[in-house]
């Protein structure tokens, strides 16, 4: 079903819908385009799959372009992603050459310069700005953790970033030094009406999980994330093994493979090897939003064991379904988990094990955390809030440009 703003009225209320439409009014007639690196897999694509349609629904002509790139290009951009999150890596001359070539190729192919405002998502299409005479407003929307970037990579990207009229980040911790462009904090969000997040019955969820060999005879601990070293699935396995010594349970690790992430299959196979002797560990890799929905809903608790994290929408997804989350104190996770109220922030694996056992052994606590989590997400992290934030920001940017030109 194509998203329409009025469909969200029963969740956010009539006044909130009216305010969004009012904010959209000055933008009618504007032509906006979003550019990212994949149409499927990962939070950016999920957000755009709703946001682009909602922007059109409120009267703004909004398009979406997806980058074309070779395996070599996406291997390099994965390296850029990892190094911006702190991993040692060198942006060699050959890597720079490939990156710049595909930035140029996509500049030629996409014809985005005739838009009034261009929103570039993450580092993959960042360099496309060099392919145009800059007449439009350009915004770089960075979804990843920039709290501890590799300086070599950042120095390569800074000349591009400085050409943008604004930068959107997810947290105060991610502010970029040495750029003049204003930086705006807009956290990501989930779509409560999507296949992944809409309410499904317990019977349907049970049936979906049973088809994958996952029965509900024991409490389920899960982590739903890409198979990525930054999500640390090996740490989740270690915690599960310690939890199971005191509480019989099962573990499900589920993540799909995005086309711009060549690292995923390697991590997946390593995780599978480490867990294959335990019949209570289930490793799933597929794009199946309904199955994710069922798993998050039926889990006793969800881990988000990230080492670095742009935001982790999987936290909001689980909390929306009233499932407590135990997560690390990185990126946008502490914005979503109110420690002791909607779940727990863990400082180490021992604390993760301790908090998991606390939840598993106390149904009253688990239900209270889940209810508080649902309300927190409803107030702060739904797609309608992000839409409203974007509209208000775009209005300010157009007003600022108009003032400068007058």
Q: What is 263-309 written as a DSSP string?
A: THHHHHHHHHHHHTT-TTEEEE-S--HHHHHHHHHH-SEEEE--SS-
Query: Would you state the pLDDT for residue 1?
Result: 84
Looking at the DSSP bridge assignments, the partners of residue 231 are none
HSE of 135, CA atoms in CB hemisphere, 13 A: 7
CA of residue 307 relative to chain centroid, distance: 15
Tokens of 375: 């309300």
Q: Which of 289, 243, 213 is nearest to 43 (CA)?
A: 289
Conformational region of residue 324, where left means phi above 0, alpha means psi within -120 to 50, and beta covers everything else? beta
Q: Which of 338, 328, 327, 330 is nearest to 309 (CA)?
A: 330
Distance CA 225, CA 185 (A): 24
DSSP tally for the chain: helices H, then strands E: 15, 12
Give the span between the Cα atoms of 191 and 313, in whole angstroms: 10
Q: What is the pLDDT of residues 87-136, one digit of tens each?
A: 999 999 999 999 999 999 999 999 898 999 999 999 999 999 998 888 99
- Catalogue all structural domains in the chain, each as residue range(s) with its CATH number: 5-189+382-405 (3.40.50.2000), 202-380 (3.40.50.2000)
Take residue 315 and report the two structure tokens written for it: 């936290």
DSSP states of 51-116 = HHHHHHHTT-EEEEEE----HHHHHHHHHHHHHHTT------HHHHHHHHHHHHHHHHHH--TTSS
Query: pLDDT per residue over 2-58, tens digit each?
Result: 999 999 999 999 999 999 999 999 999 999 999 999 988 778 999 999 999 999 999
Q: Which residues pair with 339 in a beta bridge?
A: 343
120 Cβ contact list (under 8 Å, min separation 6) = 35, 36, 126, 128, 129, 138, 139, 140, 141, 164
| C-beta separation of 371 from 341 below 8 A | no
The pTM of the whole model exceeds 0.75: yes
Beta strand pairing status for 31-36 and 61-66? parallel
Exposed/middle/buried for residue 368 (C-beta within 10 Å: 0-12, 13-18, 19+): middle
In this prediction, the residues of the chain whose per-residue pLDDT falls under 70 are: 257-262, 406
pLDDT value of residue 229: 85
Tokens of 44: 């950016």
Q: What is the DSSP string of 180-230?
A: -S-EEE----B-TTSTTTS---HHHHHHHHHHTT--SSS-EEEEES-S-GG
State pLDDT tens for residues 386-398: 999 999 999 999 9
Q: Are the beta carbons of 110 and 11 closer than 8 angstroms? A: no
CB 48 within 8 A of CB 79: no
Residue 261, classed as helix, strand or coil, is coil
Residue 262 has a pLDDT of: 65
Name the one residue in this structure whose structure tokens are 């998203």. 3
Structure confidence at residue 403 (pLDDT): 83
Structure tokens at 277: 């002797």
Nearest to 312 by CA among 198, 171, 205: 171
Q: Between β-strands 301-304 and 61-66, what pairing exists: parallel, antiparallel or unpaired?
A: unpaired
């Amino acid at each position: 079903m194509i998203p329409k703003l009025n469909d969200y009225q029963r969740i956010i209320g009539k006044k909130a819908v009216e305010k969004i439409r009012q904010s959209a009014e000055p933008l009618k007639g504007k032509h906006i385009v979003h550019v990212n690196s994949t149409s499927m897999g990962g939070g950016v694509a999920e957000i755009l799959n709703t946001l682009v349609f909602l922007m059109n629904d409120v009267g703004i002509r909004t398009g979406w372009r997806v980058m074309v790139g070779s395996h070599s290009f996406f291997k390099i951009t994965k390296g850029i992603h990892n190094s911006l999150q702190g991993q040692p890596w060198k942006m060699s001359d050959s890597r720079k050459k490939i990156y710049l070539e595909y930035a140029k190729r996509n500049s030629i192919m996409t014809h985005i310069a005739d838009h009034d405002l261009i929103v570039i998502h993450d580092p993959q299409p960042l360099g496309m700005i060099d392919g145009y005479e800059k007449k439009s407003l350009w915004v770089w929307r960075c979804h990843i953790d920039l709290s501890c970037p590799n300086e070599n990579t950042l120095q390569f990207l800074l000349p591009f970033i400085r050409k943008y009229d604004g930068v959107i980040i997810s947290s105060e911790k991610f502010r970029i030094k040495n750029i003049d462009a204003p930086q705006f904090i807009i956290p990501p969000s989930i779509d409560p009406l999507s296949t992944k997040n809409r309410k499904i019955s317990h019977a349907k969820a049970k049936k979906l999980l049973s088809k994958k060999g996952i029965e509900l005879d024991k409490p389920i601990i899960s982590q739903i994330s890409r198979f990525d070293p930054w999500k640390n699935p090996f740490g989740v396995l270690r915690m599960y093994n310690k939890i199971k010594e005191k509480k019989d349970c099962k573990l499900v690790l589920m993540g799909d493979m995005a086309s711009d992430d060549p690292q995923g299959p390697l991590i997946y196979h390593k995780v599978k090897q480490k867990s294959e002797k335990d019949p209570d560990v289930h490793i799933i890799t597929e794009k199946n939003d309904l199955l994710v929905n069922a798993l998050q809903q039926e889990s006793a608790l969800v881990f988000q064991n990230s080492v670095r994290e742009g935001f982790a929408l999987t936290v909001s997804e689980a909390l929306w379904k009233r499932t407590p989350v135990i997560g690390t104190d990185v990126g946008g996770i502490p914005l979503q988990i109110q420690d002791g109220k909607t779940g727990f922030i863990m400082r180490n694996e021992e604390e993760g094990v301790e908090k998991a056992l606390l939840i598993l052994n106390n149904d009253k606590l688990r239900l209270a955390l889940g209810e508080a989590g649902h309300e927190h997400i409803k107030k702060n992290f739904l797609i309608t809030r992000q839409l409203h934030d974007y509209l208000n920001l775009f209005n300010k940017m157009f007003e600022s440009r108009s003032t400068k030109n007058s």
